[in-house]
């Protein structure tokens, strides 16, 4: 079999070209081929300099995901980057597309780096629970400084060519589009100027600067801990960068980096983050896509210009799709346009959008009207009106009469039965749920809810729109709340029970944040609006089972006082003068005490560990029931929903992965213990019981064909 790395000569310039489609990943064959080519160059008297480039659409996009979690065969990347750097003749990296992770580390091992416009670089290993282990933490600080290296490595963000040039990470941006031509031209320039190798390891000015700032690493580590919220790898990355500054020499720094890399490889967080990484790719494999083909979508209608409707409009505009927004009257459409304009202006203010691009988007991708007939020529309509079945049925009756044949009719409902909505049309096969999460232009999750009669082409269309809008589409079946909100309802109930039984809402929130969530359930409810949950509870009151414990009386009393959270300045927390961060409220604690006394409940203390044991057990048990009923295809679908839509810490892998890592037998034992207190709520899912009985875990279900 031929090597994926080719060695050719362009006059006296060796061209080492990596051709491993689709992204030139650093497989074993690529690593061996790269090492062989570099050694050939070193012994080739006809070659005065070398250019390392990627064939196809990119340089090297990183490691080979097929090798993730497996022992790597020699040669390994740290050795290869050292061999490149040790070359007695200059080596130039010519970058296009993306140079990420190990790809950028190869470039850092080269003596010079050039890029064509549009190239992006980055060290995203932190997002997989590890650190750059082939010199990335040692060479980057030498080029950009320790502080800039820390920001780049701990965030894992991608950097454009212009920014990389300004930072010192690369040496030149070429105006052309051919990386090999750019690299060869730069190599010839170096030779003409008499410039030889420039090993990155020998560049020390930025290292000396860092040594002068005695408090630098204390600040960097404190900042990393604050942003990481429990994740290990960002903090360990700072330790590795610190080794670049304070190790006795470069080789000792490399040894420290490698040891830290290997330590992180053994952590549960690395396993969880790899699970999340592959999970986002797995959720796109759904049965309807085997036969279904996306319909052409060149124009979209959005019904509603409120927070959700305007967010969906922006998400589609950001995808480059023209949108017509429909609202009930002129004032509402003006308000909707105002929300769109304000968000786009925010992008300009943050430097994410140019003023010209903002004006172009408003002129070419947005229109607003009060006339539903404007939807006659759209390819997809997304309804985002008030969460009321009667209102939605009325909207879909009108859409059925107005929209052209083949148009996809989508509802953004969070809870309601899409089969009932579809039944209002003569084309239920064209109806689907597209449940966006607020703010819809930012949140990555899109639950794609497949009704009983939804056509596979319509499912394929929804997944295609998710892709175009940079969303993570997850298939769900029809039930109250689908995947995410159904599970949310369970752990919110547990949180309410914990408060009624003796915890304060603030203790519950602190435990959940301590676990790794960005905010607790009550702070989140205040942000969303307590009236939303109140309406849901009232909607479900008539169908509530007599066996079901109702533990939200204290929340209902808060709502009865008109305290709906941040928007009213008071909810579970107090928000003085419009503050975004709430303060504890003694009046809420008094309301809770009054309810306990009326119900004869003797309050008891709960530790943070006890709170999280119940919180996660409820989530996992309901997740198992969602799987039993076929609402979710796989456990990993639930994990991805919770991570991308509900703030579950990515480094814990999602609730079902968390259950596997804890041990399903231990999770079931917790549920059995709680079942003794409340047999109705804590009845174990049969799937969970069966998996424990067979000695299997949730991940075994991820591997089954869907």
- Residue 542 pLDDT greater than 90, yes or no: no
Domain ranges of the chain: 5-265, 297-478, 485-702
What is the Cα–Cα distance from 269 to 276, expressed in whole angstroms?
A: 10
Q: Smallest Cα–Cα separation from 619: which of 652, 592, 573, 651?
A: 652
Classify domain 485-702 by CATH number: 1.10.1040.50
What is the Cα–Cα distance from 376 to 488, expressed in whole angstroms?
A: 37
List pLDDT tens digits, range 633-654.
999 999 999 999 999 999 999 9
Check residue 64 and give its pLDDT.
Answer: 82
Check residue 541 and give its pLDDT.
Answer: 87
In the predicted model, what is the mean pLDDT of residues 190-202?
Answer: 96
- Residue 705 pLDDT greater than 80, yes or no: no
Exposure string (b/e) for 619-631, b if CB count within 10 Å is 16 or more? bbbbbbbbbeeeb
In the predicted model, what is the mean pLDDT of residues 21-45?
Answer: 95
List pLDDT tens digits, range 475-533.
999 999 999 999 999 999 999 999 999 999 999 999 999 999 999 999 999 998 898 88
What is the Cα–Cα distance from 545 to 550, expressed in whole angstroms?
A: 10
Q: Mean pLDDT in the chain? A: 95
pLDDT grade for 703, boundaries at 50, 70 and 90: confident
- Residue 99 pLDDT greater than 80, yes or no: yes
Helix or strand (DSSP H, E) at 140: helix 136-144
pLDDT grade for 539, boundaries at 50, 70 and 90: confident
In the predicted model, what is the mean pLDDT of residues 273-296?
Answer: 95
pLDDT grade for 704, boundaries at 50, 70 and 90: confident
Pick the catalytic residue from 105, 147, 500, 622: 105
Least confident of 67-71, 98-102, 373-377, 465-469: 67-71
- Residue 683 pLDDT greater than 90, yes or no: yes
List pLDDT tens digits, range 590-599.
999 999 999 9
What is the Cα–Cα distance from 644 to 324, expressed in whole angstroms?
A: 27
Check residue 68 and give its pLDDT.
Answer: 72
The class that CATH gives domain 297-478 is: alpha beta
- Residue 578 pLDDT greater than 80, yes or no: no
629 as an active site residue: the answer is: no
The class that CATH gives domain 5-265 is: alpha beta
pLDDT grade for 5, boundaries at 50, 70 and 90: very high
Q: What percent of the chain has pLDDT over 70?
A: 100
User: Which comes out higher in pLDDT, residue 576 or 450?
Assistant: 450
Contact partners, residue 661, CB within 8 Å, separation at least 6: 268, 271, 272, 653
CB 649 within 8 A of CB 616: no
List pLDDT tens digits, range 419-439.
999 999 999 999 999 999 989
**Residue 560 has what DSSP assignment?**
H
Pick the catalytic residue from 125, 383, 447, 622: 125
The two tokens of residue 14 are 């060796």
CB 614 within 8 A of CB 602: no
In the predicted model, what is the mean pLDDT of residues 317-329?
Answer: 96
Check residue 65 and give its pLDDT.
Answer: 77
Check residue 2 and give its pLDDT.
Answer: 85
List pLDDT tens digits, range 340-356.
999 999 999 999 899 99
- Residue 309 pLDDT greater than 70, yes or no: yes
Check residue 706 and give its pLDDT.
Answer: 74
Q: What is the residue whose two structure tokens read 């300099």?
A: 49
The yes-or-no answer to whether 5-265 and 485-702 have a common fold is no
Give a three-class secondary structure readout of 4-24: CEEEEEECCEEEEEECCCCCC
- Residue 1 pLDDT greater than 70, yes or no: no
613 as an active site residue: the answer is: no
In the predicted model, what is the mean pLDDT of residues 280-286?
Answer: 95
In the predicted model, what is the mean pLDDT of residues 671-700?
Answer: 96
Least confident of 140-154, 429-443, 524-538: 524-538
- Residue 269 pLDDT greater than 80, yes or no: yes
- Residue 460 pLDDT greater than 90, yes or no: yes
Q: Smallest Cα–Cα separation from 64: which of 37, 18, 102?
A: 102
């Amino acid at each position: 079999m031929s090597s994926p790395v080719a060695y050719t000569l362009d006059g006296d310039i060796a061209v080492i070209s990596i051709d491993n489609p689709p992204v030139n990943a650093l497989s074993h064959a690529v690593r061996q081929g790269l090492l062989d080519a570099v050694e050939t160059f070193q012994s080739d008297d006809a070659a005065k300099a070398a250019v390392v480039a990627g064939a196809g659409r990119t340089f090297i996009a990183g490691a080979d995901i097929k090798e993730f979690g497996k022992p790597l065969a020699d040669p390994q990347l740290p050795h290869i980057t050292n061999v490149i750097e040790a070359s007695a003749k200059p080596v130039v990296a010519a970058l296009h597309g993306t140079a990420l992770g190990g790809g950028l580390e190869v470039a850092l091992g080269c003596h010079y780096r050039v890029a064509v416009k549009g190239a992006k670089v980055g060290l995203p290993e932190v997002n997989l629970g590890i650190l750059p282990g082939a010199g990335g933490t040692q060479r980057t600080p030498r080029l950009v400084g320790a502080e800039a290296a820390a920001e780049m490595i701990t965030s894992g963000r991608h950097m454009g060519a212009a920014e990389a040039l300004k930072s010192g990470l690369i040496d030149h941006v070429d105006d052309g589009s051919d990386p090999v031509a750019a690299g060869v031209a730069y190599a010839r320039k170096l030779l003409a100027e008499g410039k030889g190798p420039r090993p990155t390891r020998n560049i020390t000015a930025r290292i000396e600067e860092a040594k002068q700032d005695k408090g630098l690493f204390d600040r960097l580590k404190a900042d990393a801990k604050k942003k990481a919220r429990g994740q290990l790898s960002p903090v360990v990355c700072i330790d590795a960068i610190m080794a670049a500054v304070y190790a006795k020499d470069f080789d000792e720094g490399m040894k420290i980096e490698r040891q830290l890399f290997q330590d992180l490889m053994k952590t549960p967080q690395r396993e969880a983050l790899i699970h999340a990484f592959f999970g986002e790719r797995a959720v796109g494999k759904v049965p309807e896509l085997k036969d279904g083909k996306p319909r052409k979508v060149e124009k979209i209608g959005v019904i509603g210009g409120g927070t959700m409707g305007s967010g969906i409009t922006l998400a589609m505009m950001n995808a480059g799709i023209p949108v017509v927004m429909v609202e009930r009257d002129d004032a509402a459409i003006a308000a909707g346009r105002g929300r769109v304009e304000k968000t786009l202006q925010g992008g300009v203010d943050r430097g994410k959008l140019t003023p010209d691009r903002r004006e172009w988007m408003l002129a070419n991708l947005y229109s607003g009207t009060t006339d539903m007939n404007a939807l006659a020529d759209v390819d997809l309509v997304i309804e985002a009106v008030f969460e009321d079945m009667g209102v939605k049925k009325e909207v879909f009756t009108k859409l059925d009469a107005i929209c052209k044949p083949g148009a996809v009719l989508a509802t953004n409902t969070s809870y309601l039965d899409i089969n009932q909505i579809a039944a209002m049309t003569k084309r239920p096969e064209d109806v689907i749920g597209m449940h966006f999460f607020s703010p819809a232009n930012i949140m990555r999750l899109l639950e794609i809810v497949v009704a009983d009669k939804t056509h596979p082409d319509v499912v394929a269309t929804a997944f295609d729109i998710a892709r175009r809008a940079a969303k993570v589409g997850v298939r769900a079946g029809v039930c109250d709340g689908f995947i995410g909100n159904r599970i949310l309802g369970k752990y919110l109930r547990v949180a309410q029970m914990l408060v009624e039984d003796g915890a304060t809402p603030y203790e519950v929130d602190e435990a959940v944040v301590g676990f790794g969530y960005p905010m607790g359930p009550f702070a989140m409810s205040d942000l969303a609006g307590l009236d939303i949950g109140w309406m849901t509870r009232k909607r479900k009151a008539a169908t509530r089972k007599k066996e079901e414990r109702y533990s939200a009386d204290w929340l209902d009393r808060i709502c009865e006082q008109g305290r709906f959270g941040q928007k009213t300045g008071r909810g579970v927390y107090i928000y003085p003068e419009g503050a975004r961060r709430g303060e504890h409220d003694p009046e809420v604690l008094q309301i809770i005490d009054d309810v306990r006394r009326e119900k004869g409940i003797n309050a008891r203390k709960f530790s943070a560990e006890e709170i999280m044991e119940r919180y996660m057990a409820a989530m996992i048990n309901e997740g198992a029931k969602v799987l039993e009923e076929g609402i979710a295809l796989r456990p990993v679908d639930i994990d991805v929903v919770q991570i991308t839509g509900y703030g579950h810490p990515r480094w814990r892998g999602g609730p079902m992965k968390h259950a596997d890592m804890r041990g399903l037998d231990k999770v079931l034992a917790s549920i059995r213990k709680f079942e003794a207190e409340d047999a109705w709520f804590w009845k174990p899912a049969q799937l969970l019981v069966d998996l424990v009985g067979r000695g299997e875990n949730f991940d075994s279900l991820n591997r089954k064909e869907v």
